Amino acid sequence: MSEVKKIATRDSYGNALVELAQGGADNLVVLDADLAGATKTGIFKKAYPDRHFNCGIAECNMIGVAAGLSTMGLVPFASSFAMFAAGRAFEQIRNSVGYPHLNVKVAATHGGISVGEDGASHQCCEDFALMRSIPGMVVMCPSDDVEAKAAVKAAYAYEGPVYIRLGRLAVPVFHDAEHFNFEIGKGEQLTEGSDVAIIATGLMVNEALMAAESLKAQGIHARVINICTIKPLDEEIVLKAARECGKVITCEEHSIIGGLGEAVCSVVSEKLPVPVRRIGVMDQFGHSGPAAEVLRDYGLTAENIVSAVREMVRPDQPAAAE
């Protein structure tokens, strides 16, 4: 059996920018807040130095510059860590990009607790909530290298503001690039099942797939749905899952407040009420440590998904002994 390839979606981002430029995206420009090596916009800078602008440690200013460039017919991608792009620069994104609905793409890396050793100050678990609250803002969180590249290219082609969350941690690549079709606002059903629907985003999609395999061996058939576009949410795929499965679990590397879980709950509660359980970061901050350990500490694992599913589907049957 071949070893599973792992690639951080921040690397996918840097490579996708170069591929766009090589493919004729002559109006593409890239801005960074003195973190090109970490956000991987440095890959683009090496290939196209005249189209990469280091704005320094001044994220709010960077968004203002990106807004101005967009009014001149350019398509700017502005990058920093999620904590500083979505957090520190929120007001500029809201008022200078969202309000005039400018064609600016905010690509934020180092989202979530998988940032690991950088600790709570850098582990942004609120970016989905912040960006979802801005009218007209598209919010995406790709699950692997293939989807991340596709999301970046789709963001470039889309006319309007986009926020993309990318990760520091290398994650398994499970999509087949040759047969993968991506569309903003469309979810993706990855497995068949009608006992429960597991709706996941980002690195939690692979955990959901592993959980589904484990559950299948226990006679529980889980439908795994990958939601890259958190806003606008694919209501059709969510409601179909709610109707056909009757139980829903959401999984995200984000606070359970304001993210994918609440987006799904909003749709389901209004249009087709079914039980929903949210797996994510509870109402708390992160902490420093190796990424895999931190994810485990916060229950963002396949094992915890399996436990949550069993509690919903078979509440009277204890898990089988290992």
Active site residues: 59
Structure tokens at 129: 């909530």
Count CB neighbours of 269 within 10 A: 12
Whether 55 contacts 76, CB under 8 Å: no
- Tokens 């749905």 map to which residue? 225
Tell me the sheet residues that pair with 226.
188, 200
C-alpha–C-alpha distance, residues 166 and 143, integer Å:
9
Please tell me what DSSP assigns to residue 117.
G
Please tell me what DSSP assigns to residue 74.
-
Whether 258 contacts 284, CB under 8 Å: no
For the sheet with 248-255, list strands across it. Answer: 188-189, 222-226, 196-200, 248-255, 276-281
